[in-house]
Chain A
């Protein structure tokens, strides 16, 4: 192991001091002069035409905006162009934005009454009954019929997962300031350039007239990937029309009612297996509920489908999926992005198979786990950095899994495991299309990182600075990170898809390599004194040998995968049917832990969200509306709901990642739900739907 000065060390978080002293400034902390507060008037019906709008208040001092005020195109520019920024004549979901009101007096703003009448049409809330698919995907490997014919046993299963709310503790919020003939948008967001593009389209402004600046962001988890384009559009419209700064911060209820959530999923498996446990054929069907507009459903489905067959080798796979439209608030990005849903299904199904064959679940996975040289369902040959067996065996050993499978039998305690993987970066040709850039500047003050990647808690600033410091051979403290401001940073792509280290970090590594070459023996300060400053910019280059076909959905879906195994022990209370996770162990292989403590933080945090997904977090939808849109009633884990967690990180380097690093941000959330369901099965409780609430457990037990 090389001795390193920055990479591999737990250096202090760049903005740590600010965060523990109250100095860090989130969007609601920043004071803007002459500000107008904005309120969104939203649909109260799930489907219908707007018949009439009546304003029952004195409009003095108010600015009112409807779709006719939009200077550019009335869309939230993302992938499809189906979602209006403000509804025109029809609405497709409850909480769809229709009007914007603004006033400098918050009391008057809150008191303003707007009465909207609708001609309601019949909404559809059933994703399987929907007549509109945003996207369909088919993955075909080998010949399914042949594989089924080879099987000794065929095992069927159906698995369901509900919505999940990201529940960043800081709600969505932005402030738009009209200036320079355009607008500057400050806000809590993950992807400044997504917002930038959306605003140029909405406002019909050239790129240089729109500036987006990310403020310190209190959590994102995907919930601030695409949604901010909507809220920023609203604030910007108000700023442009009124000529004043427009502040739009959601309270928790509005945030939960109106913004995106994880796509609910129905996944069906039909699997052919040999008596010895070897998978011969996998037939998988996936339905995702996209909500009323497409947003990112196509990509969520894509990632979900590619991970649907799990980290296993199987010669014959047919996986079909569709993301459909329902009259509910649009669903969108949430950590894992389709993979938690489909890996929940395959991993729960594996234990059904293990039961049917009378095989230990760990042995079943050992038999089928991908090994270097095997191919995935899309035909990608996994390389030496495939660590499925290592994480499985390490987790099994550390938890005495097989022994406890025997000793817990007949008690209220169960032990379950899940084996999972997660591709880093955008799928297939996505990174090529993004063509991300990163810059490294030598200035009077030293070395400065300029990327559009955002710090949202995961440690972006810190980790990027470590990579640069190590490569340049200078102290970590001497590397500065620019604010994510579209006026000063290039488009490094969105802060999503577990790509911030592996893709953007690698770009910075290349920048630093070039800078080091130019500096020669000089320190940055010495060089600047002699020659002045310079900026190095690097753009994404696809690693050689990666091939992907979007038409056939075959080839190398991701540059690299992380690999992980979770083991959870759950105790079921026979009196209340509550399931309590009492021990949690996870082994994650991530290539290289640039900052071991931050990596463990991602694993522990993502695992905790996964446990919430498994047991606690239920979005109750009634008539297309989230009925429990309050923290009192949407339950995330407290300290007392979270078991002690043991985390082990393994490193099996990826050749094209910075210092061998793969992604780590999302993978942790893929594993806990099936591990919990498998532990419940071990304790005698068979559930195939999450969250596995006490009410569902009771039904399974009685």
Chain B
């Protein structure tokens, strides 16, 4: 089964019911995407599938056949959100950060504070109280 991950074509050998999260972490060796709960509540496993944010712990790999998947590793390292999360305290312990940044990339250009809060409501952070995450997203998305 073929899927594109971070612009590279990957042939997936795993059982079709394997969670996308496990295919990414184990078969593709992309450990940036994290498991925090296994029940789609924390969002630490968020990746983009054809530009849409999903919880990869809830997706059977069979259902992403032929799609384009983007993980934190696919952002390049100097994406404005990545820089902003470092500069403005959006990342503390960092375990929610990859999922949080991926969800933030799906917010669109110049989101309002309300849109940021709603768009990130599926990503739990226990360290920051979210305030620095809003500041990081706002700094990253201002022109």
Whether A252 pairs with B86 at a CB distance below 8 angstroms is no
Whether A13 pairs with B126 at a CB distance below 8 angstroms is no
| Partner among A26, A216, A605 whose Cβ is within 8 Å of the Cβ of B127 | A605
A552 to B118 alpha-carbon distance, docked (Å): 54
If A19-B94, A21-B32, A600-B89 touch, does A638 touch B124 (CB 8 Å cutoff)?
yes
Minimum distance in angstroms from A590 CB to a CB of chain B: 16
- Residue of A with least CB distance to B132: A601
Decide if B56 is an interface residue (CB 8 Å cutoff). no
Whether A607 pairs with B94 at a CB distance below 8 angstroms is no
10 tightest A-B contacts by CB? A22-B32, A218-B95, A457-B93, A19-B94, A608-B129, A16-B86, A457-B92, A631-B41, A604-B129, A29-B31
How many chain A residues touch B (Cβ–Cβ < 8 Å)?
55
Point out the residues of chain B lying under 8 angstroms from A604, CB to CB.
128-132
Minimum distance in angstroms from A498 CB to a CB of chain B: 16
Whether A218 pairs with B93 at a CB distance below 8 angstroms is yes
Whether A23 pairs with B32 at a CB distance below 8 angstroms is yes
| Partner among A28, A170, A632 whose Cβ is within 8 Å of the Cβ of B93 | A170
How many chain B residues touch A (Cβ–Cβ < 8 Å)?
52
Decide if A25 is an interface residue (CB 8 Å cutoff). yes
Decide if B77 is an interface residue (CB 8 Å cutoff). yes
- B-binding segment of A115-123, A390-398, A639-647: A639-647
Minimum distance in angstroms from B39 CB to a CB of chain A: 6
Point out the residues of chain B lying under 8 angstroms from A20, CB to CB.
72, 81-83, 85-86, 91, 94, 97-98, 101
Cβ < 8 Å to B, chain A residues 629-687: 630-632, 636, 638-640, 642, 644-645
If A640-B117, A640-B118 touch, does A22 touch B128 (CB 8 Å cutoff)?
no
Contact with B along A16-48 (1 / 0, CB 8 A): 111111111110110000000000000000000
Whether A22 pairs with B30 at a CB distance below 8 angstroms is yes
Decide if B87 is an interface residue (CB 8 Å cutoff). yes
Interface centre among A10, A458, A600 (most CB of B within 10 A): A600
Whether A219 pairs with B88 at a CB distance below 8 angstroms is no
Minimum distance in angstroms from A184 CB to a CB of chain B: 21
Cβ < 8 Å to A, chain B residues 29-86: 30-39, 41-42, 44, 71-73, 75, 77, 81-83, 85-86
Whether A19 pairs with B91 at a CB distance below 8 angstroms is yes
Whether B39 pairs with A630 at a CB distance below 8 angstroms is yes
Whether B128 pairs with A605 at a CB distance below 8 angstroms is yes
* Chain A residues at the B interface, C-beta cutoff of 8 Å: 10, 12-13, 15-26, 28-29, 166-171, 216-221, 251-252, 456-459, 597-598, 600-601, 604-609, 630-632, 636, 638-640, 642, 644-645
Point out the residues of chain A lying under 8 angstroms from B34, CB to CB.
26, 28, 169-170, 218
- Residue of A with least CB distance to B74: A22
Whether B89 pairs with A457 at a CB distance below 8 angstroms is no
| Partner among A15, A22, A26, A609 whose Cβ is within 8 Å of the Cβ of B72 | A22
Minimum distance in angstroms from B61 CB to a CB of chain A: 17
Known: A169-B44, A170-B93, A600-B132. 18 other contacts (CB 8 A): A16-B91, A19-B91, A20-B98, A22-B33, A26-B95, A28-B34, A29-B31, A169-B36, A218-B36, A252-B38, A601-B89, A607-B129, A608-B129, A609-B126, A631-B39, A631-B41, A639-B120, A642-B131
Whether A645 pairs with B95 at a CB distance below 8 angstroms is no
Interchain residue pairs with CB less than 8 A apart (28): A12-B86, A12-B87, A19-B85, A20-B82, A20-B101, A21-B32, A22-B72, A22-B73, A22-B98, A25-B31, A26-B95, A28-B35, A29-B31, A168-B93, A168-B126, A169-B124, A169-B126, A170-B36, A219-B126, A458-B92, A459-B92, A605-B126, A605-B129, A631-B36, A631-B42, A631-B124, A640-B117, A642-B129
Minimum distance in angstroms from A250 CB to a CB of chain B: 11
If A19-B91, A26-B95, A631-B42 touch, does A645 touch B36 (CB 8 Å cutoff)?
no
Decide if B23 is an interface residue (CB 8 Å cutoff). no
Contact with A along B104-143 (1 / 0, CB 8 A): 0000000000001110111111111111100000000000
| Partner among B39, B92, B101, B127 whose Cβ is within 8 Å of the Cβ of A632 | B39
Whether B121 pairs with A638 at a CB distance below 8 angstroms is yes
Which secondary structure dominates chain A's binding surface? loop
Interface centre among B37, B87, B93 (most CB of A within 10 A): B93
A457 to B96 alpha-carbon distance, docked (Å): 11
A600 to B128 alpha-carbon distance, docked (Å): 9
Whether B31 pairs with A221 at a CB distance below 8 angstroms is no
Point out the residues of chain B lying under 8 angstroms from A459, CB to CB.
92
Point out the residues of chain A lying under 8 angstroms from B82, CB to CB.
20-21
- Residue of A with least CB distance to B76: A21
- Residue of B with least CB distance to A606: B129
| Partner among B89, B122, B131 whose Cβ is within 8 Å of the Cβ of A598 | B89
A171 to B35 alpha-carbon distance, docked (Å): 9
Whether A169 pairs with B95 at a CB distance below 8 angstroms is yes
Whether B92 pairs with A605 at a CB distance below 8 angstroms is yes
A229 to B87 alpha-carbon distance, docked (Å): 35
A454 to B75 alpha-carbon distance, docked (Å): 29
A21 to B127 alpha-carbon distance, docked (Å): 18
A654 to B105 alpha-carbon distance, docked (Å): 43
Minimum distance in angstroms from A298 CB to a CB of chain B: 27
Point out the residues of chain B lying under 8 angstroms from A609, CB to CB.
126, 129
- Residue of B with least CB distance to A217: B93
Point out the residues of chain B lying under 8 angstroms from A169, CB to CB.
34, 36, 42, 44, 93, 95-96, 124-126
A122 to B38 alpha-carbon distance, docked (Å): 35
| Partner among A21, A251, A598, A600 whose Cβ is within 8 Å of the Cβ of B73 | A21
| Partner among B25, B33, B83, B130 whose Cβ is within 8 Å of the Cβ of A642 | B130
A28 to B41 alpha-carbon distance, docked (Å): 19
Minimum distance in angstroms from A688 CB to a CB of chain B: 26
Point out the residues of chain B lying under 8 angstroms from A640, CB to CB.
117-118, 121
Point out the residues of chain A lying under 8 angstroms from B77, CB to CB.
17, 21
If A21-B72, A640-B117 touch, does A167 touch B32 (CB 8 Å cutoff)?
no
A355 to B115 alpha-carbon distance, docked (Å): 41
Minimum distance in angstroms from B21 CB to a CB of chain A: 11
Minimum distance in angstroms from B128 CB to a CB of chain A: 5
- Residue of B with least CB distance to A24: B94
Minimum distance in angstroms from A582 CB to a CB of chain B: 14
A447 to B109 alpha-carbon distance, docked (Å): 43
| Partner among B32, B38, B44, B128 whose Cβ is within 8 Å of the Cβ of A601 | B128
Interface centre among B35, B88, B127 (most CB of A within 10 A): B127
- Residue of A with least CB distance to B133: A639
If A20-B86, A22-B31, A252-B37 touch, does A218 touch B94 (CB 8 Å cutoff)?
yes
Minimum distance in angstroms from B94 CB to a CB of chain A: 3
Minimum distance in angstroms from B53 CB to a CB of chain A: 14
